[in-house]
Amino acid sequence: MAWQGTIVFFDLETTGLGTKSCHIVQLAASCEHLTIFNRYILPGIPIEYGATKVNGFTVSDGQLFLNGEPVRTDPLYSSLQSFIDYLGSFPGPVLLAAHNAWRFDQIVLMRVLRKFYLFEQFKQVVSGFMDTLPLSKKLHPHLDCFKQPCLVRYFLERNYIAHNAVEDSKQLEELFWNYWKPYNKDISECTDWI
């Protein structure tokens, strides 16, 4: 039986790994391989050295750079509002899916939505968060690495630009629909309902 509603795959790139304090620098999502959402946000705090090493984001003179190239930024509030509008454009209920959602992406996104008083509006269109990390472990326990780049190498037999939120979202979506094809029970077990 096919999942009723829409699953949107999303990812965040941030200034660091502290879920209580990091700022979002990129918010991206993919749905049905055709509809991509992507916003860059100028953070209000410095980007940690470790984060820059992983995601390539830096800030200089009030400008956000990705791998040395300037990118156009939008304010966080309007980016969140646009994201809610994007999610609301799909048939509901909408599930947001991310790799390691429960320990990172979901926590950070919920924190900033509440900070800007957008959580009530958000939960009108989103029914929950699915974490594909425990899902991948449940479906493929024989694997030794469950990091997303490892899963992409194993299933899709390619490398990709990991830690770019657009690419992470697109690759995760492809893994999910073309290779994992989980049952509804598996999806439900790995979903944190709002």
115 in a domain, yes or no?
Answer: yes
Distance from C-alpha of 127 to C-alpha of 163, rounded to nearest angstrom: 26
pLDDT at 1 over 50: no
Residue 58 contacts residue 65 (beta carbons within 8 Å) = yes
pLDDT at 49 over 50: yes
2 in a domain, yes or no?
Answer: no
How much is the mean pLDDT over the chain?
95
Q: What is the pTM of this model?
A: 0.96
Burial of 152 (0-12, 13-18, 19+ CB in 10 A): buried
DSSP bridge partners of 192: 129
- Residues whose CB falls within 8 Å of the CB of residue 19, separated by 6 or more in sequence, listed in order: 103, 104, 107, 108, 111
Choose among 56, 38, 48, 59: nearest CA to 17: 48
Q: To 5 degrees, how large is the angle CA 76–CA 81–CA 101?
A: 75
67 in a domain, yes or no?
Answer: yes
Domain tally for the chain?
1
82 in a domain, yes or no?
Answer: yes
1 in a domain, yes or no?
Answer: no
DSSP bridge partners of 130: 97, 191
User: Each residue of 82-119: pLDDT tens digit?
Assistant: 999 999 999 988 999 999 999 999 999 999 999 999 99
User: Each residue of 135-151: pLDDT tens digit?
Assistant: 999 999 999 999 999 99
65 in a domain, yes or no?
Answer: yes
103 in a domain, yes or no?
Answer: yes
| Chain position carrying tokens 């090493």 | 53
38 in a domain, yes or no?
Answer: yes
Domain boundaries, position 135? 7-193
Mean pLDDT of 44-55: 97
pLDDT at 188 over 50: yes
Residue 97 contacts residue 129 (beta carbons within 8 Å) = yes
Please give the sequence-ordered ranges of beta strands (E in DSSP) within 2-113, or none if there are none: 6-14, 24-31, 35-40, 57-60, 63-66, 69-70, 94-98
The CATH number linked to 62 is: 3.30.420.10
